[in-house]
Structure 1
Amino acid sequence: MSQPNGFTESEERLALRAAVADLAGRYGSGYFTARARAGEKTTELWAEVAKHGYLGVAVPEEFGGGGGGIGDLAAVCEELAAAGCPLLLMVVSPAICATVINRYGTAAQRQRWLPGFAAGTTKMAFAITEPDAGSNAHRLATTIRRDGVDWVLSGQKVFISAVDEVEAVLVVARHVDASGQRLQPSLMIVPTGAPGFSYHSIEMDILSPEKQFTLFFDDVRLPADALVGSEDAGLAQLFAGLNPERIMAASFSTGVARHALAKATDYARTRAVWDAPIGAHQGLAHPLAHCAVQVELARLMTQKAAALYDAGQDKAAGEAANMAKYAAGEACAATVDQAIQVHGGNGMTSEYGLGAMLAASRVARIAPVSREMILNFVAAHTLRLPKSY
């Protein structure tokens, strides 16, 4: 798919947005919330989005995808969230995992996995966070070591999304050499049914069909071809997945913010207390207008990050992706908070569906990287200030 030109998205991208918005609008927040409250998955929505090829827009055409870039996939993610159907697994499976396998996988790995990503029939989780290594990826304790021609994986991961829905997990582990020295991070494809691999759900106060899990790897034996890319490529291939993750997380957040803003402005136009719609009063109009500005600025930065990534400018894309993630997270949290305030008591009722968004909007400031760590990154890399850690 064609990429945006300057500050205007291409007609093809805009048509993609319109088509996804139309599809998601037939489901809406009522469908999404009902499924989440019942502890069920949004299987029908995922299947229909996949059937139309929207999950595979960034997969190369030779594997059945749309041949587009991360900007196209981010647009799909945003429009689904804006319609009240934010699919968290989109941030992980077709973005991080498919991107890494496409860029660094062997010919056999690409043929094995990419057609499934393109069709939406393959779901894969991504596991990097550990109990003692959240933002500090240099402290990863999960390891892989060679045993003959096989690999042996040992360790633990935490806060890993949707493991109960996927057939495999792309795991980040440190390679341990024969002397026991821990080397650079490596990426391993681990089937969820592999002996020695277990996982347990984490109780969360977030209303979402996708659950969070702790993973345990008890000497999981994997074949030689489970390794993606080079065993000593280190952070370079890891960030091939983390930059798309930040771009997708930003689009996820701006979509959620747009949904909350639409609810708030609709309510402010119709709710009358002193013989005029409450939206006529600047005490509500100005905060909503401020939210609209924040959201649009975050969307623009996200589009810039996606364009840089799709152009192969990884370093510049990394800086922009972090800024986009920060801006989108702040915009999302502020907009959901203001939407609840506009609704007054109604903002906390199940009928209006905003209260359940409050916890989810806070996640935008925490995951997949906290706003504090992004500010550390900008201070050190953009402003070239001394590192504090």
Structure 2
Amino acid sequence: MTAAQINPFVETDERKQLRAAVAALGETYGQDYFMAKARNGEKLDELWSEAGKLGFLGVNLPEEYGGGGAGMYELSLVLEELSAAGSGLLMMVVSPAICGTIISRFGTETQKQRWLPGLADGTFTMAFGITEPDAGSNAHRIITTARRDGDAGTEHDWLLTGRKIYISGVDQADAVLIVGRTEDARTGKLAPALFVVPTDAPGFTYQPIPMDLLTPEKQFMLFMDDVRLPYDALVGQEDAALLQLFAGLNPERIMAAAMAVGLGRFALARATRYAKERQVWKAPIGAHQAIAHPLAKGKIELELAKLMMQKAALLYDAGDDMGAAEAANMAKYAAAEASIGLVDAAVHTLGGSGLTTEYGMAPLLAMSRIARVAPVSREMVLNFVAQTSLGLPKSY
């Protein structure tokens, strides 16, 4: 019996080979490529295309639709390794992880055939729109509304109206999976529903949000004014959309953790290499505990976060959505905190060099901070754990 059979956190040979192949691709591009694209206002098109051709982007999607037939463990592994090389692909979080997962689990056969092959090889990119200006973390306050235009018993159209904010990568997406609401004809109440909206649809517009973040992917405000959609733009059932939504949010948290773990690994590698080489007294600065201990502490916290991320992915791939929800939230929280702490320690290790363009550490200060507020804030994760894991009452 192998170690991987005894302990699921000892990776199989296949996963080790995948990790090595993705790491090699990441090294081919790296942080210099990433930062040059960000500064020039360009996208990571070459890396995205090559990752798609190699099967990395759709490794979690079903084989019959062009995917790799694996799971969230493998997809999070891909994003972790790319991020550890300094060239993380943010759109992996939304296109194959959220949108691909929801469509593969709840879409019709026609929808799967239409969208999944492109999501798997990267030739079709889908953004995800849930956040609204007046809703924040309260999904129950979403007011983007779809109403039927025609007889409910026929293949009617939908008219979608509303706004979304902080939606990533809309300018490089072919469509956006929008979280809206429909009116229940029996009760008159609004129920969550998911719609695929082409970015070139009449009535659909978007504008960039100025951000002090140096990343190739931009954030956008979306405006939908009676966007006409065919009846089959609805993904899944109207009355089951909340469960479908959560099926996409667990992968989102797992992938956010993977990106934070990878970023933390990148910062730690830069800092430890510098600490081994930089010498101003009798020994390299890494010999001093004031330098060594923060990095060692960060390494421990990062490894613990990674274990929780792997647990979440394994639970999700096993079909345990509730168990995966707890682990995914914990993983996202732990990875964010570990990443922020490690980036801070890395910058401090490099001293003045940590703020220079040459070493590429300063942009990570803002990038690592994102994981604490998105895709769900640290405080909402703590609320989830308090209420779901500990059974404590809600305060809101």
Q: TM-score, normalised by structure 2?
A: 0.96
Q: Distance in 2 between matches of 1:5 and 1:282?
A: 34
Out of 177-186 and 236-245, give the one that drifted further: 177-186
Q: Distance in 2 between matches of 1:184 and 1:13?
A: 40
SS at 1:151's partner residue? strand
Give matches, 1:367-382, under 5 Å: 367-382=374-389
SS at 1:338's partner residue? helix
Aligned partner of 1:301 among 308, 326, 329: 308
SS at 1:26's partner residue? helix
User: How far apart are 1:63 and its partner, in Å?
Assistant: 1.0
Tell me if 1:103 matches 2:105. yes
Structure 1 partner of 2:268: 261
Q: How many residues align?
A: 388
**4+ residue runs of structure 1 moved beyond 6 angstroms?**
none
Q: Distance in 1 between matches of 2:164 and 2:275?
A: 44
Tell me if 1:334 matches 2:341. yes
User: How far apart are 1:59 and its partner, in Å?
Assistant: 1.1
User: How far apart are 1:169 and its partner, in Å?
Assistant: 0.2
Q: Is the 8 A contact 1:380 1:387 kept in 2?
A: yes
Give matches, 1:49-128, under 5 Å: 49-128=51-130
Q: Distance in 1 between matches of 2:226 and 2:320?
A: 38
Q: Distance in 1 between matches of 2:124 and 2:69?
A: 18
Closer, same or farther in 2 for the Cα pair 1:128/1:4, shift >3 Å? farther
Q: Is the 8 A contact 2:49 2:122 kept in 1?
A: yes
Structure 1 partner of 2:29: 27
User: How far apart are 1:176 and its partner, in Å?
Assistant: 2.2
Aligned partner of 1:202 among 205, 209, 232: 209
User: How far apart are 1:179 and its partner, in Å?
Assistant: 8.4
SS at 2:213's partner residue? coil
Structure 2 partner of 1:134: 136
Q: In structure 1, what residue type is equivalent to 2:173?
A: V
Measured against aligned partners, the alpha-carbon deviations of 1:327-368 in whole angstroms (never above 9, x if no partner) come to 011011111111111111111111111111111110010000
Q: In structure 2, what residue type is equivalent to 1:263?
A: R
Q: Distance in 1 between matches of 2:6 and 2:384?
A: 27
Q: Distance in 1 between matches of 2:318 and 2:82?
A: 25
Closer, same or farther in 2 for the Cα pair 1:5/1:116, shift >3 Å? farther
Identity of aligned residues (%): 64
Q: In structure 2, what residue type is equivalent to 1:29?
A: Q
Structure 2 partner of 1:274: 281
Q: In structure 1, what residue type is equivalent to 2:386?
A: A
Q: Distance in 1 between matches of 2:211 and 2:103?
A: 30
Structure 2 partner of 1:360: 367
Structure 2 partner of 1:147: 149
CA RMSD of aligned residues (A): 1.4
Measured against aligned partners, the alpha-carbon deviations of 1:201-254 in whole angstroms (never above 9, x if no partner) come to 001111110000000000111100000000111311001100000000000100
User: How far apart are 1:56 and its partner, in Å?
Assistant: 1.2
User: How far apart are 1:7 and its partner, in Å?
Assistant: 2.2
Q: TM-score, normalised by structure 1?
A: 0.98
SS at 2:70's partner residue? coil
Structure 1 gaps, min length 5: none
